[in-house]
Amino acid sequence: MALSEPAGQGRATPHSLSPALLTRGLDAASATHRRACLLLVLVALVAFLPGFFSVPPIDRDEARFSQATKQMLETGNFVDIRYKDVARHKKPVGIYWLQSLSVAAAEAVVGPSARSTIAFYRIPSLLAAIGAVLLTYALALSFVSRRGAVMAGLMMASCVLLGVEARLAKTDAVLLFTTLVSMVALARAYFRPPPYVPDLRLAALFWTALAAGILVKGPLAPLFVGLPIL
């Protein structure tokens, strides 16, 4: 009489296949920069988009940022930041300008209702969060292999805090983006092979991103960029 094999033996189970499949998938995604970036953007969209359009303002600061931006658009005054009748100068003006551009572009497509739709105020945060995922990959390439850089980007995309900030019309996702741009330029300059020749493009990228970070959230950008230098 032939003995039957115990259940689960002689054939691969989904659990035994998954590590191999994940490894092959990661290797395939790491084959080229284009594939790596495409994977990271897709994962970031899957992580950041749920609730982006449907969830109402859930943070006190988000409501204040978006209302101040709305008043900028209504008054045409893009210098004096106001929340209702109160001056609001706790943060620099950069984030309000970005939100104003986003809402103005949306108005050109969907009409006046864009000013009352919180999702359009969140678009700068969403784009900055996706950019931060790609910049994490670019920064990691200075230190590890492309496969390791993809894993770094995936970890950033799966960061819960970044997922929250991508859905909020606030400064933090944009600050992260500008900080990472500066750090990528810094890493590229630091690891350039000798003989060292100053690269004006990297210098311009570094200082422009740093200035943008200051315009978004004041002195925090130089602080974050300065720590790796020290």
Q: How far lies 134's CA from each of 7, 23, 50, 131, 224, in Å? A: 44, 20, 20, 5, 19
pLDDT band (50, 70, 90) for residue 20: confident
Q: Is 88 left (phi over 0), alpha (psi -120 to 50) or beta?
A: beta
Q: What is the pLDDT of residues 57-81, one digit of tens each?
A: 988 899 999 999 999 999 999 998 9
Q: Say how far residue 166 (Cα) sits from the centre of its chain.
A: 7
Mean pLDDT, range 138-142, rounded to an integer: 95
Judged against a pLDDT cut of 90, whether residue 140 lies above it is answered with yes
Mean pLDDT of the chain: 89
Burial of 164 per CB tally in 10 Å (0-12, 13-18, 19+)? middle
pLDDT band (50, 70, 90) for residue 35: very high
Tokens of 76: 């045409």
Compute the distance between CA of residue 143 and CA of residue 24 in angstroms, rounded to an integer: 22
Q: What is the pLDDT of residues 188-226, one digit of tens each?
A: 988 888 877 788 999 999 999 999 999 999 989 899 888
Q: What is the pLDDT of residues 109-138, one digit of tens each?
A: 999 999 999 999 999 999 999 999 999 999
- Minimum mean pLDDT among 13-27, 120-134, 171-185: which range? 13-27
Compute the distance between CA of residue 196 and CA of residue 18 in angstroms, rounded to an integer: 46
Write down the pLDDT at residue 26. 79
CA quadruple 78, 79, 84, 85: dihedral sign: negative
Write down the pLDDT at residue 29. 78
pTM score, whole prediction:
0.87
Per-residue exposure over 128-147, b if at least 16 CB sit within 10 Å of its own CB, e if not: bbbbbbbbbbbbbbeeeebe
Quick check: bond before 195 cis, omega within 30? yes
Compute the distance between CA of residue 20 and CA of residue 147 in angstroms, rounded to an integer: 15
Write down the pLDDT at residue 1. 45
